Copies of this chain bind each other. A is one copy, B any other.
Amino acid sequence: MKIAFILFDGMTFLDFAGFYDVICRLGQFEAGKGLEWDICGISDEVTDELGLKMKTGRVMPDLSAYDLVFVPGGLGTRKLRLDEIFIDWLRGAAAAPYKVSVCTGSLLLGAAGFLQGCGATTNPSAYSLLEPYCHNVVKARIVQHGNVITGGGVSTSIDLGLYVLSLLAGEEAMRVVKQQIDYPYITQEIVQWQ
């Protein structure tokens, strides 16, 4: 199992952090044995929408080599969805078994063409921006359409991490991780859309 986390200028840091923290705990279970991940971007350093600078470990790797490609959101998505270099690179994830986004990361999955015919979600403030990219905007916290899984706004990142972890490693693994991260909440509004 190999995961690509896509970072970019103007991203919302928590969109990434919740999913990253949870899903990287997959490695402790049998189903996640040999788990690897890369922090990826179109440059070797990115700045989030509040000014924090992070290093990417891989610059524009071939995304078809990953099992799961994760895209966070943030104000930077408004411009980035029109950036041909970024979107062409993201299209390389077409063959990746899982494509996952939080918040307005779904606009980027959409711009890459991955949401055609799909039900998908995003931050409730951005439902109208998502409409042109998918078949149906589903107003739910998590929407799974096959192996394309989109999440709602910012804090959904933790719930989405737990959901994907449960898909890959089962309910009991999810329960263990919830305890490790001291998370008492139960995710509502998970929609399987077909």
Task: Tell whether, in the assembled complex, residue A154 and residue B21 are in contact, meaning their CB atoms are under 8 Å apart.
Answer: yes
Contacts of A30 in B (CB 8 A): none
How many whole Å from A125's CB to the nearest CB in chain B? 8
- State whether A50 and B20 are in contact (beta carbons under 8 Å apart), knowing that A182-B124, A185-B185 are contacts in the complex: yes
Interface residue stretch chosen among A51-59, A60-68, A91-99, A110-118? A51-59
Q: How many copies does the complex hold?
A: 2
Task: Tell whether, in the assembled complex, residue B181 and residue A14 are in contact, meaning their CB atoms are under 8 Å apart.
Answer: yes
Contacts of A55 in B (CB 8 A): 45, 52-55
Query: Does any Cβ of B come within 8 Å of A193's Cβ?
Result: no
Task: Tell whether, in the assembled complex, residue A181 and residue B158 are in contact, meaning their CB atoms are under 8 Å apart.
Answer: no
Please report the C-alpha to C-alpha distance between residue A123 and residue B24 in the assembled complex, in whole angstroms.
19
Q: Which of A142-173 contact B (CB under 8 A)?
A: 152-156, 158
Contacts of A16 in B (CB 8 A): 17
Please report the C-alpha to C-alpha distance between residue A54 and residue B13 in the assembled complex, in whole angstroms.
12
Contacts of A194 in B (CB 8 A): none
Query: Does any Cβ of B come within 8 Å of A188's Cβ?
Result: yes
Contacts of A39 in B (CB 8 A): 52
Contacts of A53 in B (CB 8 A): 54-55, 57
* Interface pairs A-B: 10 shortest CB-CB: A153-B182, A17-B17, A14-B21, A53-B55, A154-B181, A155-B183, A155-B181, A185-B185, A152-B182, A14-B17
Residues of A within 8 A of B (CB): 12-14, 16-18, 20-21, 24, 39, 45, 50-55, 57, 103, 123-125, 141, 152-156, 158, 180-185, 188
